């Protein structure tokens, strides 16, 4: 089975044989990857938005979108997307125009860049960095910068309040988030996303898959809670609380710029779910069957691709489920929870993991 990295190497070798400088194939590979990722994000976000509307509707004993496109309103997101594209782009007169225009780009670029180190299937990872996990966490923390830029440049009190809340929340929740990810990293002894999946092969006691969610259940819960906060999802959505801040940081945005914020939010949800799947749920690992007429490696790769998506969308479903069943936390409760509950738990988990590894590892 050929991996993506080997494929790129072969392409580079072939083009350098033709006498092209290595910049050309590199740019081609970059362009193709970015095209694929943007297409995936667009389609997946539209699906997630429709899915979220259906889930919220069913939780509230409604039907949700039913008409556009026929079956259960499946084309509703496409219609909404076209509507947003056609809407007028309004920049407030007293806004700081440069920062206002830059903000959605920063948010979207940050969520786009995290897709570089997602291991989609065996061998299918754009770049298996040594520090893959750290890179993903660091890059996704850039979203908050964009949110603050948006909130401040709008020159609107609701937007500014949303931005300040977002800053406080992000700084607080980043600490337990990083600490919770260290447990699995200690078990695997690596931060590369590919090797983290490799480390979860095999079973415990013959039946339990060797996923890190079992020994690191506490870390998984801490990570998932902090990830909800990083994505500004309920119960941690005070930066955009509709009932008090109208829509928070993006209240002044309209048309395509608003759509980009929306897209980035859903792209971020997927990225967070992908990290959780890779680190705690065994990534693309899962039972697979040989497909007649295909080599075993290809069949395993295809099953891996499907398993990864299934696990990610299960986690996304849990996020949506929580959003439509929990209440929003107050600001002080939010801070208390991060510093007085999550942080000590994350530290305790780290110490216990280190002790166990030192004594029996």
Partner 1 sequence: MTLKLGIFYLLAAFTVWAAAVVVLGKNIVRAAVALIFTFCGVAALYVLLDAEFLAAVQVLIYVGGITILLLFAIMLTSRISSATARVINDQVVLSAVAAAGLLVGLIYAATQGIAALSGPPRLPETTRFLGRALLTTYALPFEVVSILLLAAMVGAIVLARKE
Contacting residue, 149, 187, 227, 273, with partner 1 by CB under 8 A: 149
For partner 1, which is the closer residue by CB, 13 or 326? 13
Per-residue x/- marks for partner 1, 217-256, CB under 8 A?
----------------------------------------
- Least distance between partner 1 and beta carbon 3 (Å): 20
The correct pick among 44, 118, 125, 191 for binding partner 1 (CB under 8 A) is 191
Q: C-beta of 190: minimal distance to partner 1 in Å? A: 9
User: Among 142, 256, 302, 305, which residue interacts with partner 1 (rule: CB under 8 A)?
Assistant: 142
Site string for partner 1, 160-189 (x = CB under 8 A): x--xx--xx-xx--x---x-----------
Q: Show contacts with partner 1 in window 6-65 (CB under 8 A).
A: 21-23
CB of 23 to partner 1, least distance (A): 6
- Indicate whether 90 belongs to the interface with partner 1 (CB under 8 A): no
Closer Cβ to partner 1, 55 or 185, answer by number: 185
Give yes or no for a contact between 287 and 152, defined as CB atoms under 8 angstroms apart.
Answer: no
C-alpha count within 13 angstroms, C-beta hemisphere, residue 137: 24
Minimum distance between the CB of residue 166 and partner 1, rounded to whole angstroms?
Answer: 9
Please say which residue, 122 or 162, places its beta carbon nearer to partner 1: 162
Q: Which stretch binds partner 1 (CB under 8 A): 3-11, 83-91, 131-139, 334-342?
A: 131-139
Q: Contact, 352 vs 358, CB < 8 A?
A: no
**Residue matched to tokens 């998506």:** 309
Q: Which of 42, 257, 270, 259 is nearest to 149 (CA)?
A: 257
Residue 129 in the binding site for partner 1 (CB under 8 A): yes
Q: How many CA atoms lie within 13 A of 357 on its CB side?
A: 16
- What residues pair up with 124 in beta bridges, in sequence order? 121
Interface with partner 1 (CB under 8 A), residue total 32
Residue number, 21 or 293, with CB nearest to partner 1: 21
CB of 137 to partner 1, least distance (A): 6
Determine the interface stretch with partner 1 among 50-58, 76-84, 136-144, 243-251 (rule: CB under 8 A): 136-144
Q: How far apart are CA 167 and CA 37, in angstroms?
A: 28
Q: Which is nearest to 123 in space by CA: 283, 255, 258?
A: 283
Give the binding site for partner 1 (CB under 8 A). 21-23, 96, 99, 102, 129-131, 134-135, 137-139, 141-142, 144-145, 148-149, 152, 155, 160, 163-164, 167-168, 170-171, 174, 178, 191
């Amino acid at each position: 089975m050929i991996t993506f990295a080997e494929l790129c190497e072969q392409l580079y070798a072939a083009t350098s044989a033709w006498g092209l400088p290595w910049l050309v194939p590199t740019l081609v590979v970059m362009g193709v990857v970015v095209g694929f990722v943007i297409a995936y994000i667009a389609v997946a976000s539209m699906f997630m938005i429709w899915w979220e509307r259906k889930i919220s509707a069913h939780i509230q004993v409604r039907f949700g979108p039913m008409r556009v496109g026929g079956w259960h309103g499946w084309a509703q997101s496409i219609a909404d997307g076209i509507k947003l594209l056609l809407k007028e782009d309004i920049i407030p007169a007293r806004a700081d125009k440069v920062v206002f225009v830059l903000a959605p780009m920063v948010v979207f670029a940050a969520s786009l860049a995290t897709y570089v180190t997602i291991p989609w299937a065996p061998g299918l990872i754009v770049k298996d960095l040594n520090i893959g996990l750290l890179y993903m966490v660091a890059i996704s923390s850039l979203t908050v910068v964009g949110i603050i830029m948006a909130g401040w440049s709008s020159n609107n009190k609701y937007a500014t309040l949303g931005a300040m809340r977002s800053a406080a929340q992000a700084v607080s929740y980043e600490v337990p988030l990083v600490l919770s990810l260290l447990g699995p990293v200690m078990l695997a002894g690596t931060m590369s996303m590919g090797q983290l999946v490799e480390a979860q092969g095999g079973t415990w006691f013959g039946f339990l898959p060797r996923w890190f969610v079992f020994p690191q259940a506490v870390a998984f819960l801490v990570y998932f809670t902090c990830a909800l906060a990083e994505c500004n999802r309920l119960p941690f959505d005070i930066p955009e609380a509709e009932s008090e801040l109208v829509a928070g940081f993006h209240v002044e945005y309209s048309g395509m710029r608003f759509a980009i914020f929306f897209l980035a939010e859903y792209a971020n949800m997927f990225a967070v779910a992908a990290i959780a799947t890779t680190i705690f749920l065994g990534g693309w690992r899962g039972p697979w069957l040989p497909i007649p007429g295909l080599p075993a490696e290809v069949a395993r790769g295809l099953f891996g691709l499907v398993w990864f998506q299934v696990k990610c969308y299960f986690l996304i479903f849990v996020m949506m489920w929580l959003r439509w069943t929990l209440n929003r936390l107050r600001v002080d409760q939010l801070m208390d929870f991060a510093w007085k509950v999550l942080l000590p738990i994350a530290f305790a988990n780290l110490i216990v993991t280190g002790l166990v590894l030192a004594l029996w590892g």
